[in-house]
Structure 1
Amino acid sequence: MQRSTDHEFYQRVPRPVGGMAKSYPTGYPGYLHSHPRAQLLYAESGTMKVTTERGAWIVPPHRAVWFPPEYPHQTAALSPLEMRTLYIRSDSCPRGTPHEPCVISVSPLLRELVRRVTAMPVEYDEDGRDGQVVRLLLQEIDWSPAYAVVMPVLRDERLLAVERVLLSDPGDTRTLEAWATVAAASPRTLARLFLKETGMSFRCWRDQFRALTALPYLAKGMQITNLASKFGYETAGAFAAMFKRVMGVTPSQYLGGSEPTS
């Protein structure tokens, strides 16, 4: 069998694991879909936005996303994306496999194993070296959820109007009263809508939005001082404090894969 970039192809490969390598351009929106097999999504480079009914994750290269079989999701590219995807047959999933989607850390060894599996023959020799690589990969996955923030999916058009403006200019510092004009709603109504749809105040939602929106820029190596200016903060320290408050770690710790400590 020849390799394919069609995800449907890998649902029927006669092996426990099928690995697909595929490139996506910046701005690729994705679409809502699911797979008969479980799925491990990993970006070799670039940043992806993964959306489910539970919310949206911004996923940098040192993280991966796990989906159980038949779980609807949408994957978008926030930058040029080199995606590496493993489709795992249900009867081959390791013990402890989560029944809900989650973000996990990618160790250096796991990264190399994913690279190998997406490059080996589709019908690899299960009893040979390639089969051993697949078995090692499945054992190497650490199912402990990595620290990740889920961004609530906004549905009310008035909130979406605010989100659209902040997407184009995340450093916009308007108050809730000023945003009410953009949303064509009273400040009180806008505050109530944010609390109803996100479970948080507008200010907390905006902090979370900024922290997650900053991840692609962090992954590209943008300096914290430049990030602070872009995202509406007067100093690098103020931006870093907001990021740690939202993500639980500093920007440098997050890029390095560090988890929060007590």
Structure 2
Amino acid sequence: MISKSGQSLNKRPPCSTACDLSLAHGPAMAMRMDFADYEAEADPHQHPQGQLILALHGAVTCTAESGVWIVPPDCGLWVPGGVPHSNQVTPNARLTYLFVEPGAATLPDECCTLSVSPMLREMIHRLADLPEQDGGDAHVERLMRVMLDELALMPRQRLELPVSNHPKIALIARALLANPSDRRTLGQWAEHVAVSERTLKRLMIEKTGLSFGRWRRQLHLVIALRELAGGATVQKVAGDLGYESTTAFIVMFTKALGTTPSRYLAGAQQP
């Protein structure tokens, strides 16, 4: 069940199961969601429409077959129609969803993080604030068309954690997602999953496109963005990720994203 006002008959957020927006008129529909009244994690689901997720406050982590994504400030997560995925949100999350009908815009055919310009963000919020339409409103149709044209121009950002269904890689991913402070070396992980270090090194690059060191740093970055947006302090996140000092964590974060954690997340603290 989907409601433009964000109301639901139970504690499951909208789109926690298969969704059908076919009754919505036009090529797109936007809605705002405050997750204080919903469970923190949605069941795996899919819908025929593509979905762009914007975070007004807090954070959402999306898991699909090919990776794990965090929705950071100034970006949106694009999930193509028909792709099974699940979302985990922080209790303070306030999100905007944009659903796009198949074929309505030229958008990626895989999950990805897209930059979202201030103008595009405001257009999506404007659409979410409009009352439900009966169709045929020329102004709304023009707004949707320009909005979708702008969305198709947005550049991609590399803020996902690539994952694999290979049993050795999946085992390591599950362990580190559950305990990101685990500092075992590649050789120690190879012994743990019963392969040679050389074989595991090759598998990591082959299945994820990253070396083990770069993959673990990307995992830390994804977790850090989620926890910081959820209200955790920089000091706590640094400790939870196993860094020897807060400074070491800030250095890693700044090298990856070009700015400090506090400055990067300042854009997420919107009313």
TM-score of the aligned structures, taking structure 1 as reference length: 0.75
* 1:147-202 CA-partner distances (Å, limit 9, x unpaired): 33232122222222222221222111122233234323343333232222122222
1:98 aligns with 2:98: no
Q: Aligned-pair distance for 1:30?
A: 2.4
Among 98, 123, 147, the residue aligned to 1:86? 98
Counterpart for residue 15 of structure 1: 26
> Structure 1 residues 148-157 or 201-210, which shifts more?
148-157
Determine the structure 2 residue equivalent to 1:170: 180
Report the 3-state secondary structure (helix = DSSP H, G, I; strand = E; otherwise coil) of the residue aligned with 2:153: coil
User: 1:231-259 CA deviation, whole Å, 9 max, x = no partner?
Assistant: 1111222112222333454424432469x
Cα distance in structure 1, aligned partners of 2:137 and 2:159: 40
Aligned partner (choices 63, 72, 82) of residue 60 of structure 1: 72
Residue of structure 2 in register with 1:238 after alignment: 248
Aligned to 2:124: 114
Aligned to 2:41: 27
Q: Which residue of 1 aligns with 2:167?
A: 157
Long gaps (5+) in structure 1: none
TM-score between the two structures when normalised by the length of structure 2: 0.73
Moved more, 188-197 or 83-92: 83-92
How far apart, in 1, do the equivalents of 2:82 and 2:265 lie? 28
Q: Which residue of 2 aligns with 1:207?
A: 217
Which residue of the partner structure matches residue 188 of structure 1? Answer: 198
Q: Aligned partners of 1:14, 1:100: CA distance in 2, in Å?
A: 23
Q: How has the CA–CA distance of structure 1 residues 146 and 99 changed in structure 2, closer, same or farther, with 3 Å as cutoff? A: closer
Letter matched to residue 16 of structure 1: P
Work out the percentage of aligned pairs sharing the same amino acid: 32
Contact 2:183/2:242, CA 8 A, preserved across alignment: yes
Q: 1:53 to 1:46 in 2, by over 3 A?
A: same
Look up the match of 1:251. 261
The total of aligned residue pairs comes to 251
Partner residue of 1:145 out of 152, 155, 164: 155
Where does structure 1 differ by over 6 angstroms across 4 or more consecutive aligned residues? none
For the aligned residues, what is the CA RMSD?
A: 3.4
Structure-2 separation of matches of 1:89 and 1:153: 28
List alignment gaps of at least 5 residues for structure 2: 5-13
Structure 1 range deviating more: 176-185 or 126-135: 126-135
Provide Cα deviations, 1:60-111, integer angstroms capped at 9, x if missing partner.
354212355x452413214245443222345754xxx434444223455544
Q: Which amino acid aligns with 1:229?
A: G
